[in-house]
């Protein structure tokens, strides 16, 4: 295969490090004299701390310090704006240990630092706290009266007249969908090790999807200069949005390090992973109509999402309704409902999977009402243009996704009547849904160096949240300079590297990959300039387009190939380096850019017990050029598993009296296990798109979950004749 890697199923370049335990995650960094912090959380949902007694805590051997709001250094209390981070929503960011006020149940109210983790944990249990408790209203439905549009970005503008169209329609539905709060539980809990150095600078190892976010936060809060704060984050054991904003353990670890003048570590427990950020509970109302043939004539969608009382976290939920189908009359509304909880945060396909679970359920209901097959209904109402923005799509192979998915899945064998097929004691149902996700590209910078020993080193401050960034970037770099991939070193997750956007929004391959390609291209041009100078006979008149780079050599036309290491030797250079800033193409904004998918599901539902089993799922995805089919498939499959969890299992149970999360552990917060996951298949539909990114790549990180919950709900309806509009679809709702 020579040195062609793009489009190949390259195995993970960091795989060996991970499976042999040599990949170091944030909480595993160590330093001499490290102190361990343990967090104490509030046990009430709203009110004030009236007394906090640390006397028994500090008496425990090994304890070095307890921080509470009573002894937080004054300078850390001065200005709330300093606590913001690049992704902070409107409002006032939460300030840990700032004052006696309790804003939510599980809020960090103290941190104990000791010589060992066990000493800190034991001592933390001895903290005595008294509260003046106030009435707690943690639930969305309790607080609907407080729904507001203030600080909420406007949804896409209404078009046409939905009232008139609805009144005149042949078929109509009016329905409401809801989903509970979902919690992030990546395998690696959030952790920070902050290493304080004698000159007052800090090296920080943090779990974060973009090191610049942590750096900006720490500089703001602690009044430090960028040069004094280096943030490093080489490996992340899953994040999916939980690591977009710096979390409170970063503040607490840096507090410990700067006050004790020692390295300090704070790792959250699994239970504490339920104490920050979550996918918000949501209530969505739909009013939809079609003409006699089943063509959509109106779409009315209003969504109510919970947020905290101190920040306005918002999502794109209703925008999808105006985008996905051809419809002249559309009205969208989105409101936030403040509750006594921490601010929600992004969770894989934020807004998209929430909006599409409801929209794609509604489309299934509408197809039934109009007497059409759900696939035929979608093809009939196919959007050729983005009507929200009145723009053409840069590419949209959704029709091909529908076709290929239907063929692979065997959609034609679908039971046309609900509750009409039974095998043994199980009811069988087929369901489908559309998936889509934004194909964004951000500005990114990268540096590439070729050294005399034959190694290509590329660096940019992106992250690898487990998605395969190391691997994909190494593929792009290796192919572009024509080197075997084992001669490429790709560095990420370090504020000393060139700037990169956070790893989120599924834009890393398009953004950072294009920057890496551009940097290595620039490097090859530098090498050509050297070749023109030192090997003029072969290269004097060569332009970049005349030269091929392959297997460690460069060759102009069909002249004798020149080994790159030989070039550096002759030129007397140890290293050749270039840095580039890469931006999306200028006319990109003239187009609407999305990745698309079709999901088809077969479920089996026990006729007597009502429990749902997913028998198989096929996803056909169109996401531009696929750089690595192996890691891309892995993203889609993982997202499908998550979609099963969202449809059937995940539910953060909130005690309405206290705001406490009652199932803050992985025994009671249910997620799919091996027995729940079978028959998953992902196929990629070809797409050529030169507008979306220089590489032609869209992202696949989030796309895979978007259609899954609705496809499962629709299959459950097909199997049982019961329409469940409230997630998760547990057996009680089917009996
Ligand atoms: Mo994603 S929710 O941008 O990690």
Q: For 371-468, where are the alpha helices, taking DSSP H only?
A: 374-380, 398-409
**All residues at 6 or more sequence positions from 524 whose CB lies less than 8 Å from its CB, including other chains:** 480, 481, 544, 547, 549, 554
How many CB atoms neighbour CB 435 within 10 A? 32
Sign of the CA dihedral running 44, 188, 311, 668: negative
Strands (DSSP E) along 162-255, which ranges?
Answer: 171-179, 182-183, 191-196, 202-206, 229-232
Rounded to whole angstroms, how far apart are CA atoms 359 and 377?
13
Compute the mean pLDDT over every residue in the chain, rounded to the nearest whole number.
97
Report which ligand 1 atom has the smallest distance to the Cα of 239: 4
pLDDT band at 79 (very low <50, low <70, confident <90, very high): confident
**All residues at 6 or more sequence positions from 553 whose CB lies less than 8 Å from its CB, including other chains:** 482, 561, 562, 563, 564
Rounded to whole angstroms, how far apart are CA atoms 124 and 109?
11
**All residues at 6 or more sequence positions from 291 whose CB lies less than 8 Å from its CB, including other chains:** 169, 170, 171, 297
Q: Are 458 and 514 in contact (CB under 8 A)?
A: no
Rounded to whole angstroms, how far apart are CA atoms 241 and 192?
17
Beta-carbon-side half-sphere exposure of residue 523 (alpha carbons within 13 Å): 32
Report which ligand 1 atom has the smallest distance to the Cα of 505: 3
Q: For ligand 1, is residue 438 a contact (CB within 6 Å)? A: no
Compute, in angstroms, the gap from residue 510 CA to the centroid of ligand 1.
Answer: 15
Give the mean model confidence (pLDDT) for residues 570-578: 98
Considering the domain 282-440+589-734, what is its CATH architecture? 2-Layer Sandwich (3.30)
So what's the pLDDT on residue 599? Answer: 98
Rounded to whole angstroms, how far apart are CA atoms 21 and 16?
8
Rounded to whole angstroms, how far apart are CA atoms 203 and 631?
31
**Quick one: tokens of 94?**
């939460």
277: left (phi over 0), alpha (psi -120 to 50) or beta: left
Q: Kindly state the DSSP code that residue 566 receives in the 8-state scheme.
A: H
Q: For ligand 1, is residue 350 a contact (CB within 6 Å)? A: yes
Compute, in angstroms, the gap from residue 244 CA to the centroid of ligand 1.
Answer: 7
So what's the pLDDT on residue 78? Answer: 86
Location of structure tokens 């992902």: 682
Q: For ligand 1, is residue 325 a contact (CB within 6 Å)? A: no
Q: How many helices (H) does the chain have, and how many strands (E)?
A: 18, 30
Q: For ligand 1, is residue 241 a contact (CB within 6 Å)? A: yes
Rounded to whole angstroms, how far apart are CA atoms 232 and 494?
4
Q: Are 196 and 32 in contact (CB under 8 A)?
A: no
Rounded to whole angstroms, how far apart are CA atoms 68 and 525?
57
Residue 164: phi, psi to the nearest 5? -65, -45
Q: Do 282-440+589-734 and 442-583 fold alike per CATH?
A: yes
Compute, in angstroms, the gap from residue 503 CA to the centroid of ligand 1.
Answer: 7
Nearest CA to ligand 1 atom 3: 504
What CATH number is given for 442-583 in this structure? 3.30.365.10
Compute, in angstroms, the gap from residue 45 CA to the centroid of ligand 1.
Answer: 28
**All residues at 6 or more sequence positions from 478 whose CB lies less than 8 Å from its CB, including other chains:** 3, 5, 456, 484, 485, 487, 488
So what's the pLDDT on residue 1? Answer: 46
Rounded to whole angstroms, how far apart are CA atoms 169 and 298?
8
Chain segment 638-690, per-residue pLDDT in tens: 999 999 999 999 999 999 999 999 999 999 999 999 999 999 999 999 999 99
Q: Are 683 and 296 in contact (CB under 8 A)?
A: no
pLDDT exceeds cutoff 60 at 598: yes
Rounded to whole angstroms, how far apart are CA atoms 251 and 341?
20
pLDDT exceeds cutoff 50 at 194: yes
Compute, in angstroms, the gap from residue 729 CA to the centroid of ligand 1.
Answer: 25
Q: Are 574 and 451 in contact (CB under 8 A)?
A: yes
Report which ligand 1 atom has the smallest distance to the Cα of 347: 2
Rounded to whole angstroms, how far apart are CA atoms 40 and 126?
10
Q: Are 708 and 646 in contact (CB under 8 A)?
A: yes
Q: For ligand 1, is residue 240 a contact (CB within 6 Å)? A: yes
Chain segment 492-545, per-residue pLDDT in tens: 999 999 999 999 999 999 999 999 999 999 999 999 999 999 999 999 999 999
Mutation pick for ligand 1 pocket among 87, 184, 236, 241 (CB with most ligand atoms within 8 Å): 241
Report which ligand 1 atom has the smallest distance to the Cα of 240: 4
Report which ligand 1 atom has the smallest distance to the Cα of 346: 2
Beta-carbon-side half-sphere exposure of residue 250 (alpha carbons within 13 Å): 33
Closest to 329 measured CA to CA, from 153, 166, 154: 166
Compute, in angstroms, the gap from residue 87 CA to the centroid of ligand 1.
Answer: 12
Q: For ligand 1, is residue 347 a contact (CB within 6 Å)? A: yes
SS3 302: strand
Q: For ligand 1, is residue 504 a contact (CB within 6 Å)? A: yes
Rounded to whole angstroms, how far apart are CA atoms 419 and 481?
58
Compute, in angstroms, the gap from residue 505 CA to the centroid of ligand 1.
Answer: 5
Mutation pick for ligand 1 pocket among 207, 348, 638, 703 (CB with most ligand atoms within 8 Å): 348
Rounded to whole angstroms, how far apart are CA atoms 699 and 185?
22
Q: Kindly state the DSSP code that residue 148 receives in the 8-state scheme.
A: B
Rounded to whole angstroms, how far apart are CA atoms 626 and 633?
10
Compute, in angstroms, the gap from residue 313 CA to the centroid of ligand 1.
Answer: 14
What CATH number is given for 31-135+186-269 in this structure? 3.90.1170.50
Terminal-to-terminal C-alpha distance of the chain: 57
CA distances from 449 to 87, 515, 526 (A): 32, 14, 10
Report which ligand 1 atom has the smallest distance to the Cα of 350: 2
Mutation pick for ligand 1 pocket among 244, 316, 703, 705 (CB with most ligand atoms within 8 Å): 244
Rounded to whole angstroms, how far apart are CA atoms 126 and 54?
8
- Which residues are known catalytic residues? 702
Residue 27: phi, psi to the nearest 5? -70, -5
**Quick one: tokens of 167?**
């009144």
Closest to 623 measured CA to CA, from 694, 704, 679, 680: 704
Rounded to whole angstroms, how far apart are CA atoms 173 and 362?
8
Q: For ligand 1, is residue 510 a contact (CB within 6 Å)? A: no
Rounded to whole angstroms, how far apart are CA atoms 492 and 513?
12
SS3 405: helix
**Quick one: tokens of 443?**
């500005």
Compute, in angstroms, the gap from residue 316 CA to the centroid of ligand 1.
Answer: 13
For every residue of 453-488, DSSP letters joined together read: TS-EEEE-S---SSS-HHHHHHHHHHHHHT--GGGE
Residue ranges of the domains in the chain? 31-135+186-269, 282-440+589-734, 442-583
Rounded to whole angstroms, how far apart are CA atoms 462 and 571?
33
Chain segment 32-54, per-residue pLDDT in tens: 999 999 999 999 999 999 999 99
**Quick one: tokens of 647?**
């449809």
CA distances from 270 to 188, 191, 274, 377, 715 (A): 9, 11, 7, 44, 33
Beta bridge partners of 598: 434, 620
Rounded to whole angstroms, how far apart are CA atoms 181 and 342?
12
Rounded to whole angstroms, how far apart are CA atoms 99 and 130?
14
Q: For ligand 1, is residue 411 a contact (CB within 6 Å)? A: no
Measured in residues, the chain has a length of 735
Location of structure tokens 């840069």: 394
Mutation pick for ligand 1 pocket among 188, 316, 467, 505 (CB with most ligand atoms within 8 Å): 505
**Quick one: tokens of 392?**
């053409």
């Amino acid at each position: 295969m020579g040195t062609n890697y793009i489009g190949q199923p390259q195995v993970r370049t960091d795989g060996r490090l991970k499976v042999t335990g040599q990949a170091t995650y944030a909480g595993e960094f160590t330093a001499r004299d490290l102190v361990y912090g343990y967090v104490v959380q509030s046990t009430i949902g709203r009110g004030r701390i009236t007394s906090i007694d640390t006397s028994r805590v500090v008496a425990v051997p090994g304890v070095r310090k307890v921080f509470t709001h009573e002894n937080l250094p004054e300078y850390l209390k001065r200005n709330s704006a300093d606590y913001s981070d690049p992704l902070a929503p409107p409002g006032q960011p939460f300030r840990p240990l700032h004052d006696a006020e309790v804003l939510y149940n599980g809020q960090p109210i103290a941190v104990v630092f000791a010589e060992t983790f066990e000493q800190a944990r034991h001592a933390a249990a001895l903290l005595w706290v008294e509260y003046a408790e106030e009435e707690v209203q943690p639930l969305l439905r309790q607080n609907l009266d407080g729904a507001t549009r203030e600080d909420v970005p406007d949804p896409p503008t209404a078009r046409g007249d939905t009232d008139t169209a609805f009144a005149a329609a042949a078929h109509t539905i009016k329905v409401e969908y809801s989903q509970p709060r979902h919690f992030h539980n990546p395998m690696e809990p959030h952790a920070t090790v902050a290493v304080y150095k004698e000159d007052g600078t800090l090296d920080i190892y943090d779990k974060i999807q973009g090191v610049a976010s942590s750096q900006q936060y720490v500089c703001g809060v602690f009044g430090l200069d960028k040069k004094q704060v280096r943030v490093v984050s080489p490996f992340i054991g899953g994040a999916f949005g939980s690591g977009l904003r710096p979390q409170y353990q970063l503040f607490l670890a840096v507090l410990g390090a700067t006050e004790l003048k020692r390295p300090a570590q704070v790792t959250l427990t699994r239970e504490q992973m339920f104490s920050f950020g979550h996918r918000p509970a949501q209530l969505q109302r739909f009013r939809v109509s079609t003409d006699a043939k089943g063509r959509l004539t109106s779409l009315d969608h209003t969504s109510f999402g919970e947020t905290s009382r101190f920040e306005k976290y918002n999502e794109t939920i209703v925008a999808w309704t105006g985008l996905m189908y051809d419809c002249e009359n559309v009205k969208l509304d989105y409101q936030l409902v403040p509750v006594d909880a921490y601010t929600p945060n992004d969770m894989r396909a934020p807004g998209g999977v929430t909006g599409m679970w409801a929209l794609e359920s509604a489309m299934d209901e509408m197809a039934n009402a109009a007497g059409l097959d759900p696939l035929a209904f979608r093809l009939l109402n196919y959007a050729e243009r983005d009507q929200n923005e009145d723009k053409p799509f840069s590419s949209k192979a959704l029709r091909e996704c529908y076709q290929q998915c239907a063929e692979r899945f065997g959609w034609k064998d679908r039971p046309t009547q609900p509750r009409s097929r039974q095998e043994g004691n199980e009811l069988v149902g087929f369901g489908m849904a559309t998936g889509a996700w934004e194909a964004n590209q951000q500005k990114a910078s990268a540096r590439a160096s070729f050294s005399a020993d034959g190694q290509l080193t590329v660096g940019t401050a992106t992250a690898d949240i487990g998605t395969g960034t190391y691997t994909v970037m190494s593929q792009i770099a290796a192919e572009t300079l024509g080197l075997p991939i084992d001669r490429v070193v790709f560095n990420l997750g370090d504020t000393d590297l060139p700037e990169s956007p956070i790893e989120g929004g599924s834009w890393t391959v398009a953004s950072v990959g294009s920057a890496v390609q551009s940097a290595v291209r620039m490097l090859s041009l530098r090498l050509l300039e050297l070749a023109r100078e030192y090997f003029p006979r072969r290269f004097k008149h060569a332009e970049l387009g005349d030269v091929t780079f392959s297997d460690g050599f460069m060759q102009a036309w069909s002249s004798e190939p020149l080994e790159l290491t030989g070039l550096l030797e002759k030129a007397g250079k140890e290293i050749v380096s270039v840095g580039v800033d890469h931006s999306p193409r200028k006319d990109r904004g003239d187009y609407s850019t999305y990745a698309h998918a079709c999901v088809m599901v077969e479920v089996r539902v026990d006729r007597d017990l009502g429990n749902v089993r997913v028998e198989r799922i096929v996803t056909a995805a169109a996401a531009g050029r696929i750089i690595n089919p192996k890691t891309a498939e892995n993203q889609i499959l993982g997202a499908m598993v998550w979609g099963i969890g969202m449809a059937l299992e995940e539910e953060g149970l909130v005690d309405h009296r206290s705001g406490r999360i009652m199932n803050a552990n992985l025994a009671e917060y249910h997620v799919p296990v091996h027995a729940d996951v079978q028959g998953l298949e992902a196929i990629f539909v070809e797409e050529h798109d030169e507008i979306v990114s220089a590489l032609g790549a869209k992202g696949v990180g989030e796309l895979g979950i978007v259609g899954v919950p609705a496809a499962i709900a629709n299959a459950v309806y097909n199997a049982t004749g019961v329409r469940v509009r409230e997630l998760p679809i547990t057996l009680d709702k089917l009996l």
